[in-house]
Amino acid sequence: MSDDQNVVIKKIFCEVLGVDESDVDDSTSYNSFRPWDSLKHLQLVSMLEDEFDIEFEMDDIIAMENFGLVKKIVAKYTQ
Amino acid sequence: MRMTIGTDIVSIHRFNEFAHDINHPALKKIFTKDELDYCFSKDAAEPHLAARFAGKEAMIKALYARNIQDVWYTDIEILNKPNGVPVVELKKDMYNNLKLEISLAHCEDKAIAFVVILGEN
Protein backbone atom coordinates (compact mmCIF):
# COMPACT_ATOMS: atom_id res chain seq x y z
CA MET A 1 0.00 0.00 0.00
CA SER A 2 1.34 3.42 -0.91
CA ASP A 3 1.91 6.31 1.46
CA ASP A 4 -0.18 8.53 -0.80
CA GLN A 5 -3.10 6.12 -0.59
CA ASN A 6 -2.84 5.98 3.18
CA VAL A 7 -2.89 9.77 3.36
CA VAL A 8 -6.12 9.82 1.34
CA ILE A 9 -7.68 7.08 3.49
CA LYS A 10 -6.83 8.96 6.69
CA LYS A 11 -8.24 12.20 5.29
CA ILE A 12 -11.52 10.48 4.37
CA PHE A 13 -11.64 8.66 7.71
CA CYS A 14 -11.20 11.88 9.68
CA GLU A 15 -13.63 13.81 7.49
CA VAL A 16 -16.37 11.20 7.92
CA LEU A 17 -15.87 10.83 11.67
CA GLY A 18 -15.30 14.54 12.24
CA VAL A 19 -12.04 14.06 14.13
CA ASP A 20 -8.49 15.42 13.91
CA GLU A 21 -5.84 13.32 12.19
CA SER A 22 -3.81 13.43 15.42
CA ASP A 23 -6.63 11.49 17.12
CA VAL A 24 -6.24 8.51 14.78
CA ASP A 25 -3.62 5.78 14.51
CA ASP A 26 -3.63 2.18 13.31
CA SER A 27 -5.04 0.94 16.60
CA THR A 28 -8.02 3.30 16.56
CA SER A 29 -10.83 0.80 16.98
CA TYR A 30 -14.48 0.60 15.96
CA ASN A 31 -15.38 -0.76 19.38
CA SER A 32 -13.69 1.89 21.48
CA PHE A 33 -13.59 5.10 19.42
CA ARG A 34 -16.87 6.86 20.16
CA PRO A 35 -17.27 8.80 16.87
CA TRP A 36 -16.96 5.53 14.89
CA ASP A 37 -20.44 4.01 15.01
CA SER A 38 -22.32 1.84 12.53
CA LEU A 39 -23.75 4.71 10.47
CA LYS A 40 -20.36 6.42 10.24
CA HIS A 41 -18.84 3.07 9.29
CA LEU A 42 -21.23 2.78 6.33
CA GLN A 43 -20.50 6.37 5.30
CA LEU A 44 -16.78 5.60 5.49
CA VAL A 45 -17.19 2.49 3.37
CA SER A 46 -19.20 4.31 0.69
CA MET A 47 -16.71 7.18 0.54
CA LEU A 48 -13.76 4.80 0.23
CA GLU A 49 -15.55 2.88 -2.53
CA ASP A 50 -16.27 6.12 -4.32
CA GLU A 51 -12.73 7.46 -3.93
CA PHE A 52 -10.96 4.29 -5.09
CA ASP A 53 -13.66 3.01 -7.49
CA ILE A 54 -13.96 -0.31 -5.67
CA GLU A 55 -16.74 -2.33 -4.05
CA PHE A 56 -16.05 -4.12 -0.78
CA GLU A 57 -17.35 -7.59 0.04
CA MET A 58 -19.58 -7.70 3.12
CA ASP A 59 -17.00 -9.72 5.06
CA ASP A 60 -14.38 -7.05 4.46
CA ILE A 61 -16.70 -4.26 5.57
CA ILE A 62 -17.27 -6.13 8.83
CA ALA A 63 -13.55 -6.89 9.19
CA MET A 64 -12.61 -3.17 9.25
CA GLU A 65 -12.33 -3.23 13.03
CA ASN A 66 -9.54 -0.69 13.36
CA PHE A 67 -7.92 1.97 11.20
CA GLY A 68 -4.95 -0.23 10.36
CA LEU A 69 -7.29 -2.89 9.00
CA VAL A 70 -9.19 -0.28 6.99
CA LYS A 71 -5.93 0.59 5.21
CA LYS A 72 -5.01 -3.07 4.65
CA ILE A 73 -8.43 -3.96 3.26
CA VAL A 74 -8.49 -0.98 0.91
CA ALA A 75 -5.00 -2.01 -0.29
CA LYS A 76 -6.29 -5.50 -1.04
CA TYR A 77 -8.72 -4.01 -3.55
CA THR A 78 -6.39 -1.44 -5.08
CA GLN A 79 -3.26 -3.56 -5.61
CA MET B 1 -40.24 -22.04 19.34
CA ARG B 2 -37.42 -19.68 20.30
CA MET B 3 -37.72 -15.89 20.50
CA THR B 4 -34.93 -13.35 20.07
CA ILE B 5 -35.30 -9.58 20.26
CA GLY B 6 -33.40 -6.53 19.06
CA THR B 7 -33.79 -2.81 19.61
CA ASP B 8 -32.04 0.35 18.43
CA ILE B 9 -32.33 4.11 18.70
CA VAL B 10 -30.81 6.76 16.43
CA SER B 11 -30.79 10.56 16.26
CA ILE B 12 -32.77 11.73 13.25
CA HIS B 13 -30.36 14.59 12.54
CA ARG B 14 -27.73 11.99 11.58
CA PHE B 15 -29.63 11.64 8.30
CA ASN B 16 -29.83 15.35 7.49
CA GLU B 17 -26.88 15.21 5.11
CA PHE B 18 -28.50 12.39 3.10
CA ALA B 19 -32.05 13.64 3.00
CA HIS B 20 -31.79 15.61 -0.22
CA ASP B 21 -29.99 13.03 -2.33
CA ILE B 22 -31.75 9.73 -2.95
CA ASN B 23 -28.67 8.59 -4.88
CA HIS B 24 -26.20 9.19 -2.04
CA PRO B 25 -23.79 6.21 -2.01
CA ALA B 26 -24.17 5.68 1.74
CA LEU B 27 -27.94 5.35 1.38
CA LYS B 28 -27.52 2.69 -1.28
CA LYS B 29 -25.37 0.70 1.15
CA ILE B 30 -28.19 0.66 3.69
CA PHE B 31 -31.58 0.83 1.98
CA THR B 32 -33.35 -0.97 -0.87
CA LYS B 33 -34.78 0.97 -3.79
CA ASP B 34 -38.34 0.52 -2.52
CA GLU B 35 -37.35 1.79 0.93
CA LEU B 36 -35.71 4.86 -0.55
CA ASP B 37 -38.70 5.52 -2.81
CA TYR B 38 -40.96 5.35 0.26
CA CYS B 39 -38.80 7.61 2.45
CA PHE B 40 -38.25 10.20 -0.27
CA SER B 41 -41.98 10.29 -1.08
CA LYS B 42 -42.47 11.99 2.30
CA ASP B 43 -42.16 15.73 2.96
CA ALA B 44 -39.09 15.00 5.09
CA ALA B 45 -37.16 11.80 4.46
CA GLU B 46 -34.99 12.01 7.59
CA PRO B 47 -37.31 10.47 10.22
CA HIS B 48 -38.29 7.67 7.86
CA LEU B 49 -34.67 6.90 6.97
CA ALA B 50 -33.70 7.00 10.64
CA ALA B 51 -36.55 4.71 11.71
CA ARG B 52 -35.67 2.17 9.02
CA PHE B 53 -32.00 2.32 9.92
CA ALA B 54 -32.90 1.67 13.56
CA GLY B 55 -35.11 -1.19 12.36
CA LYS B 56 -32.27 -2.78 10.43
CA GLU B 57 -29.89 -2.43 13.37
CA ALA B 58 -32.50 -3.96 15.67
CA MET B 59 -33.01 -6.78 13.18
CA ILE B 60 -29.27 -7.45 12.97
CA LYS B 61 -29.08 -7.63 16.77
CA ALA B 62 -31.96 -10.07 16.94
CA LEU B 63 -30.33 -12.19 14.22
CA TYR B 64 -26.95 -12.11 15.98
CA ALA B 65 -28.68 -13.53 19.04
CA ARG B 66 -29.41 -16.58 16.85
CA ASN B 67 -25.82 -16.63 15.55
CA ILE B 68 -26.95 -15.40 12.15
CA GLN B 69 -24.23 -13.04 10.94
CA ASP B 70 -24.45 -13.16 7.16
CA VAL B 71 -27.21 -10.60 6.73
CA TRP B 72 -26.43 -7.17 5.30
CA TYR B 73 -28.53 -4.03 5.64
CA THR B 74 -29.96 -4.33 2.13
CA ASP B 75 -30.98 -7.95 2.84
CA ILE B 76 -33.49 -6.47 5.29
CA GLU B 77 -36.39 -4.55 3.79
CA ILE B 78 -38.79 -2.54 5.92
CA LEU B 79 -41.87 -1.23 4.13
CA ASN B 80 -45.36 -0.25 5.24
CA LYS B 81 -48.75 -1.79 4.69
CA PRO B 82 -51.42 0.58 3.29
CA ASN B 83 -52.60 1.12 6.87
CA GLY B 84 -49.12 2.29 7.89
CA VAL B 85 -48.07 -0.79 9.83
CA PRO B 86 -44.39 -1.58 9.10
CA VAL B 87 -43.47 -4.99 7.77
CA VAL B 88 -39.96 -6.41 7.74
CA GLU B 89 -38.76 -8.94 5.19
CA LEU B 90 -35.48 -10.84 5.18
CA LYS B 91 -34.40 -11.28 1.56
CA LYS B 92 -32.56 -14.55 2.12
CA ASP B 93 -34.46 -17.73 1.32
CA MET B 94 -32.55 -19.75 3.89
CA TYR B 95 -34.23 -17.79 6.69
CA ASN B 96 -37.79 -18.09 5.37
CA ASN B 97 -38.66 -20.19 8.42
CA LEU B 98 -38.27 -17.21 10.75
CA LYS B 99 -41.30 -15.16 11.77
CA LEU B 100 -40.40 -11.47 11.98
CA GLU B 101 -42.21 -8.65 13.72
CA ILE B 102 -41.14 -5.00 13.88
CA SER B 103 -42.31 -1.78 15.46
CA LEU B 104 -40.95 1.67 14.58
CA ALA B 105 -41.49 5.05 16.21
CA HIS B 106 -40.00 8.51 16.07
CA CYS B 107 -40.36 11.79 17.88
CA GLU B 108 -38.86 15.17 17.01
CA ASP B 109 -35.24 14.10 17.32
CA LYS B 110 -35.02 10.31 17.78
CA ALA B 111 -36.19 7.19 15.97
CA ILE B 112 -36.50 3.83 17.68
CA ALA B 113 -37.21 0.27 16.54
CA PHE B 114 -38.03 -3.01 18.19
CA VAL B 115 -37.81 -6.40 16.50
CA VAL B 116 -38.99 -9.86 17.55
CA ILE B 117 -37.90 -13.00 15.74
CA LEU B 118 -39.62 -16.34 16.30
CA GLY B 119 -38.25 -19.59 14.97
CA GLU B 120 -37.24 -23.12 15.78
CA ASN B 121 -33.45 -22.59 15.72
Longest Cα–Cα distance of chain B, Å, equals 43
Q: Is-above-0.80 flag for pTM?
A: yes
Q: Do A46 and B28 touch (CB under 8 A)?
A: yes
**How long is chain B?**
121
- Which chain A residues have a beta carbon less than 8 Å from that of B72? 58
Worst-scoring range by mean pLDDT, A1-10, A70-79, B48-57, B87-96? A1-10
* Closest in B29, B53, B70 to A46, CB measured: B29
pLDDT at residue A2, rounded to an integer: 79
Pick the CATH number of B2-119 from 3.40.50.450, 3.90.470.20, 3.30.1520.10, 3.40.1030.10: 3.90.470.20
Mean pLDDT, rounded, for B64-93:
95
- Which chain B residues have a beta carbon less than 8 Å from that of A43? 26
- Percent of chain B exceeding pLDDT 70 equals 99
Please name each of the domains of chain A with its CATH number. Answer: 3-78 (1.10.1200.10)
pLDDT at A74 over 80: yes
Burial level of A53, CB count in 10 A (0-12/13-18/19+)? exposed
pLDDT at B12 over 90: yes
| A3 pLDDT tier (thresholds 50, 70, 90) | confident
Q: Do B26 and A49 touch (CB under 8 A)?
A: no
pLDDT at A1 over 70: no
Q: Do A58 and B72 touch (CB under 8 A)?
A: yes
Spell out the domain ranges in chain B: 2-119
Q: How far is CA B19 from the centre of its chain?
A: 17
Q: How big, in percent rounded to 5, are the helix, strand and coil portions of chain B? A: 35, 30, 30
What is the value of ipTM here, to two decimals? 0.79
Q: Do B29 and A47 touch (CB under 8 A)?
A: no
- Residue from B29, B31, B70 whose CB has the most chain A CBs within 10 Å, to mutate: B29
User: What residues in chain A have their Cβ under 8 A from chain B's Cβ atoms?
Assistant: 38-39, 42-43, 45-47, 49-50, 58
Average pLDDT, chain B: 95
Give the Cα separation of B109 and B14 in Å (integer): 10
Give the Cα separation of A16 and A10 in Å (integer): 10
pLDDT at B108 over 90: yes
Of B95, B93, B91, B84, whose CA–CA distance to B117 is shortest? B95
Of B106, B73, B83, whose CA–CA distance to A39 is shortest? B73
CB-defined contacts A:B, below 8 A? 21
Give the Cα separation of A16 and B69 in Å (integer): 26
